[in-house]
Amino acid sequence: MMKKTLLTLILVLSFNGLFASTPPDEGIWIPILIEKYNIKLMQEKGFRLTAEDIYSVNRASMKDAIVNFNGGCTAEFISGSGLLITNHHCGYGQIQNHSTLENDYLTNGFWAMSREEELPNPGVTVTLLKYMEDVTEKVLKDISDDMPAEERDKLISSRIADIQAKAEQGTDYRAVVRPFFMGNQYFLFVNETFRDVRLVGAPPSAIGKFGGDTDNWVWPRHTGDFSLFRVYAGKDNKPADYSPDNVPYNPAYYFPVSLKGVQEGDFTMVFGYPGTTSEYVPSYHIDMVKNHINPAMVSIRTSKLEIIDRAMESDPLIRIQYSSKKAGISNAWKKWTGEILGLEKMNTIGKKQEFEARLTDWIEADNQRKLRYGDILPKYSEVYEGLKEYTLVNNYTGEVFNGIEAIVLARRTYELASLFQGGKTPDQKTVERTREVLSAYAERFFRNYDRATDQELFSTLLSLYGETLDRKWLAPEYLKLKATANGDFKSLAPKFYDSSVFTDKQRFDSFINGFGKSSLKKLEKDPFYMLAIDVSRFLGANVLPELTRLTNERQTLNKRYMTVQMEYDSTRIFYPDANSTLRVAFGNVMGYESRDAVWFKPVSTLKGIMEKDNPEIYDYNVPARLKELYANRDYGRYGSSDGEMPVCFIASNHTTGGNSGSPVINADGFLIGINFDRAWEGVASDMAFNPEQSRNISIDIRFALFIIDKFAGAGYLLDEMTIVE
Ligand code: ARG
Ligand code: GLU
């Protein structure tokens, strides 16, 4: 007994000791706090520049070269003429959008051979951070946790609105204040958004998406996951709507590109827009995600993917139509599976419970603390009991009805219909405008729509909905339909699909073109429309109010739980959860032990692409030109000193979704890679970073240059880059 305690003590001590000298590379850090918290360690790890080089308000710095790409990804400037590099999977929607059977850029790639050939992408934006600021004091001044939540929230919201308005005054910038540490801190972000973003280049999917969804989230990886865009601006270098008169944007900073490559142990930094993490949640949250939500979502998506995969295999047109949708469905499906495995393997629930027990002891040991914090964990337990059920119902219902495309389109029609509802006579202009938006949506919808596939999704998903959720969570219109169909949605489907306006472009167009009061009757007979409306109504009445109440309660608890964790561990430097704001992660190029006796090296090469070559499988069908370059070892100046052509590498940077496309930067501040994924064994890092196995995956920038120059013959694009030999 004694012995065991001693042993534990020694272990704990040496564990802490170890961390004090070489902390794990966990953390997604705030750029303006690098100087204060991180730069010393970064320099110890090999970084040769300063915090000012990363973020500065006084002069051009790396942050001026990094943009949020269309909301979900990161991209960075690599030339003074607005040339942006991001991932192939980040530009996928645009590449797909420009693709037809005749001009299949997804399959064949696309390279603009001159500026005139670059393809505009209406709706796509990139956002640049001008500056950020800690506004915690302004937001939280004289606000205490004892205030009624509603009053508090109102006060906070109005202060945030003030701060934002002030920051925007007299500028073309957009300002936004975001909570950090669960609302314990607030930062202001002032942004500039560009609206003319053109596609410059993309490799064929056989390179840009090599390995497809099979290799996704997995190391070793051989994907050339990059694409090129260019930002255009008005003649004043300011954001402008698309116009042929616009000129390439001249950024304050762009990344020099290094040909030096990476060695195991090299310093790396990832600078970009991580989306969401949940590192400070209680064990109840992990239980909810791992044991309830993820399994249900994985299971329904497995069914979706079976249907979509089969359809894509059967017809090249369907492959184009569904590739982007499928990539999205499959990506999270696979990640959720990896999370379940990782959380299980790390025993994250058990570890959190142990932590909670220690924390509780510490809270109970002091009367003041007990008064302030004693209720948090018990309350969490209650809140998550409810959240588990309501979140599942909400997410699952969404997954079913967003998965049936005819229902999605029907829901879209609601806005137009509502103009006429209740006997109203809407003004003609509003009708026109609403109809135009809907038409544009439908145009794209039908381009990517296959009725037979949707019909299969309809039968399968509706059956699953009834089988999975308790009857009390099923929308009445659904139950009615189920009774009519005698539970057999398959037999019901053809009748609906053959006649509805939502399953055929011509029917849809003529329906909305002549839309008027009398059209409502037709809508009310349409099963898709009725389902769409009824499900929204049902959720709105029976699920969302309670879900919102629980979520708000959790938020209040989260803030207090964060406070107590920081108080308990008062010497630790905490990093805030990702929240789609610009962050820095740093680490080193590093392999890992994947499982017993298996060590993964950190660098993959073209040889590995050839090993995976299989012309029978779309995702592994290596292009002839690439084989030829390989056979001749024709790597130009892009190969590594050992004669290989590097493709990807892994490092210990803490990253998450949204970091796709982020620059991977070396000790001298040069671009060495583009982040695009994480390795399977460490994918649970959104909730628990595992220093042993959490690795980010990047494409080696030399491979991207090699593809542009040697493979695609678009070497002229390199002329505008600054290449460091
Ligand atoms: N897993 C990466 C991310 O989360 C890449 C996804 C795109 N690739 C794919 N095969 N679906 O976005
Ligand atoms: N592929 C992800 C993205 O699109 C990045 C990988 C991750 O989740 O770490 O943001």
Catalytic-residue membership of 89: yes
> DSSP string of 631-694?
HTT--GGGS-TTS--EEEEEE-----TT-TT-EEE-TTS-EEEEEEEE-GGGGGGGT---TTT-
Tell me if residue 588 falls in helix, strand or coil: strand
Distance CA 673, CA 677 (A): 12
Residue 460 carries which side chain, given as an amino acid letter? T
Surface-to-core class of residue 44, CB atoms within 10 Å of its CB (0-12 exposed, 13-18 middle, 19+ buried): exposed
Distance CA 275, CA 579 (A): 5
Residues 314-334: what's their mean pLDDT?
94
Closest atom of ligand 1 relative to the 209 alpha carbon: 10
Residues 633-647: what's their mean pLDDT?
96
Closest ligand to Cα 656: 2
Closest of 43, 229, 126, 85 to residue 663, by C-alpha: 85
Q: Is the C-beta atom of 657 inside 6 A of ligand 2?
A: yes
Catalytic-residue membership of 79: no
pLDDT of 18 > 50? The answer is no
> DSSP string of 195-252?
-EEEEEEE--HHHHTTTHHHHTT-SS------EEEEEEE-TTSS-----TT-EE---S
Residue 4's pLDDT is 40
Q: Determine the distance separating the centroid of ligand 1 and the alpha carbon of 627, expressed in angstroms.
A: 25
Q: Determine the distance separating the centroid of ligand 2 and the alpha carbon of 673, expressed in angstroms.
A: 14
How open is the CA angle 221-222-226, to the nearest 5 degrees? 110
Q: Give the tens place of pLDDT for each residue, 491-537.
A: 999 999 999 999 999 999 999 999 999 999 999 999 999 999 999 99
Radius of gyration of the chain (CA): 27
Q: Is the C-beta atom of 655 inside 6 A of ligand 2?
A: yes
| Matching residue, tokens 């929204």 | 536
Q: Report the chain's mean pLDDT, rounded to a whole number.
A: 95
Q: Give the tens place of pLDDT for each residue, 134-163.
A: 999 999 999 987 888 889 999 999 999 999
**Cα–Cα separations (whole angstroms), residue 154 to 4, 159, 186, 332, 548:** 53, 9, 15, 35, 16
Reported as type and span, the H/E element at residue 283 is helix 283-287
Note the Cα 250 to chain centre separation in Å: 27
pLDDT of 43 > 80? The answer is yes
Token code pair at residue 205:
């999917």
What pTM does this model have? 0.93
Q: Which of 69, 88, 89, 648 to mutate to test the pocket of ligand 1 (most atoms within 8 A of CB)?
A: 89
Q: Is the C-beta atom of 222 inside 6 A of ligand 1?
A: no
Q: Is the C-beta atom of 661 inside 6 A of ligand 1?
A: no
Q: Give the tens place of pLDDT for each residue, 68-88.
A: 999 999 999 999 999 999 999
Give the residue whose CA is nearest to atom 7 of ligand 1: 89
Give the residue whose CA is nearest to atom 8 of ligand 2: 657
pLDDT-above-90 percentage for the chain: 93
Among the ranges given (10-14, 27-31, 541-545, 553-557), the one the predictor scored with the smallest mean pLDDT: 10-14
Closest ligand to Cα 331: 1
Determine which one of 56, 61, 81, 89 is catalytic: 89
Tell me if residue 23 falls in helix, strand or coil: coil
Q: Is the C-beta atom of 88 inside 6 A of ligand 2?
A: no
Residues 303-332: what's their mean pLDDT?
95
Token code pair at residue 62:
């790396």
Q: Determine the distance separating the centroid of ligand 1 and the alpha carbon of 389, expressed in angstroms.
A: 29
Distance CA 372, CA 99 (A): 59
Residues 707-714: what's their mean pLDDT?
97
In terms of DSSP H, where are the helices of 115-195? 136-140, 149-168
Distance CA 566, CA 677 (A): 30
Residue 94's pLDDT is 95
Q: Characterize the bridge pairing of strands 671-678 and 696-700.
A: antiparallel
φ/ψ of 536, rounded to 5, equals -60, -45
pLDDT of 552 > 60? The answer is yes
**Cα–Cα separations (whole angstroms), residue 426 to 522, 608, 692, 695:** 19, 62, 62, 56
Q: Determine the distance separating the centroid of ligand 1 and the alpha carbon of 655, expressed in angstroms.
A: 13
Among the ranges given (19-33, 217-231, 398-412), the one the predictor scored with the smallest mean pLDDT: 19-33
Determine which one of 53, 196, 213, 225 is catalytic: 225
φ/ψ of 119, rounded to 5, equals -100, 125
Distance CA 39, CA 53 (A): 11
Q: Give the tens place of pLDDT for each residue, 423-454.
A: 888 999 999 999 999 999 999 999 999 999 99
pLDDT-above-70 percentage for the chain: 97
Residue 12's pLDDT is 41
Q: Determine the distance separating the centroid of ligand 2 and the alpha carbon of 127, expressed in angstroms.
A: 18
Q: Is the C-beta atom of 91 inside 6 A of ligand 2?
A: no
pLDDT of 649 > 60? The answer is yes
* Torsion of the alpha carbons at 112, 113, 114 and 119, rounded to the nearest 10: -10
Q: Are 253 and 352 in contact (CB under 8 A)?
A: no
Catalytic-residue membership of 677: no
